[in-house]
Amino acid sequence: MTEVTYYTQEGLDKLKEEVHYLKTTGRQLISKAIAEARDKGDLSENAEYDAAKEAQGLHEAKISKLNHTLASARLIDESKLDASKVLALSIVKIKNLKNGATMSYQLVAETEADLKTGKISVKSPIAKGLLGKSVGDKTEIAVPAGTIEFEILEISR
């Protein structure tokens, strides 16, 4: 069964751009590498040719996987989301009750996750622990370092 993944417009556009690049420029570069390796002589003993063909197989597998992801991708209309609960695409400000640190995260699809920009996957332990909660709720979340208690301070879009 196909798993539906929800995307922001920005994330969906990036996914489409990557597929387009791989199908055009990426395929041309691999085709050129195969042609150059073929020109070097005997294919039965040509490691460069074997490597280029293997790279081509991996490249086509990546295109296939991304096409599958695109086929099951759904765009979320952020204007229609309920801001009273934590959902996919919510921006959540939380407070670590143990050390008092506050942080903000946006819950996004796995392929959009980027911790540097504050975007975490909805499948991450923290996001799973926050989903469905409201402002003021406290929740204990099991993370690799142990269990941490958080309080939800704010939910926005």
Exposed / middle / buried, residue 92 (Cβ in 10 Å: 0-12, 13-18, 19+):
buried
| Domain final residue pick, 75, 95, 115 | 75
pLDDT single digits (tens) 54-72: 999 999 999 999 999 888 8
| Domain final residue pick, 15, 42, 75 | 75
- pLDDT-derived band at 82, boundaries 50, 70, 90: low
CA pair distance 19, 17, nearest whole angstrom: 6
Top-confidence residue, 89 or 106: 106
Q: Are residue 41 and residue 91 in the same domain, yes or no? A: no
Helix (H, G, I), strand (E, B) or coil at 145: coil
The confidence score (pLDDT) of residue 59 equals: 94
- Domain holding 35: CATH number? 1.10.287.180
- Domain holding 146: CATH number? 3.10.50.30
- pLDDT-derived band at 31, boundaries 50, 70, 90: very high
Q: Where are the alpha helices (DSSP H) in the chain?
A: 9-21, 27-38, 47-71, 125-130
Q: Are residue 71 and residue 84 in the same domain, yes or no? A: no
DSSP character for 137? -
Mean pLDDT, residues 111-115 = 85
Q: Is the pLDDT of residue 11 over 90?
A: no
- pLDDT-derived band at 145, boundaries 50, 70, 90: confident
Mean pLDDT, residues 16-43 = 89
Q: Are residue 105 and residue 139 in the same domain, yes or no? A: yes
Q: Are residue 89 and residue 152 in the same domain, yes or no? A: yes
Q: Are residue 61 and residue 94 in the same domain, yes or no? A: no
CA pair distance 51, 34, nearest whole angstrom: 9
| Domain final residue pick, 75, 105, 121 | 75
Q: What domain count does the chain have?
A: 2
Q: Are residue 49 and residue 9 in the same domain, yes or no? A: yes
Q: Which domain holds residue 125?
A: 79-156
Amino acid (1-letter code) at residue 82: D
Lowest mean pLDDT among 2-16, 54-68, 69-83, 103-117: 69-83
Mean pLDDT for the chain overall: 86
